[in-house]
Amino acid sequence: MLTITKKFEFAYAHLLPNYEGKCRNLHGHNAVLEVEVSGPPINRQNVYPTMVCDFGDLKGIVDTEIINKLDHKHLNDIMEYPTAETMCQWIWNRLFVVFGKRLERVRIYETSNSYAEVKR
């Protein structure tokens, strides 16, 4: 099975009420999102028999479904508990509607060395 992965970046703000720690206060992150899709190759226009998904198509879908909704937003207005884990599941659920079982993995880096991930 072939897979492809595309990275995206966006900025967001959030706070974690009732959390014991500095994340209790309003703060921001520059997130890195990785989306991996798989499947038997799609013979796009009967020209590219090994293409799993056009990277441009993947970008358009993720931009529309995720980036445009989260970039430069206060995530507490979008989800009740905007932890990295909640965000990752929220992103997975939205993209699964589009990709179904072709969606393999969603990984979101809250910092350069900390991430949450959902895998099929």
Query: What would the two tokens of residue 66 be?
Result: 């995720």
Query: 117, 105 in Cβ contact below 8 A?
Result: yes
Where is 10: in which H helix or E strand? strand 2-14
Query: 33, 62 in Cβ contact below 8 A?
Result: yes
List, by residue number, the catalytic residues.
23, 72, 110
**N residues, the chain:** 120
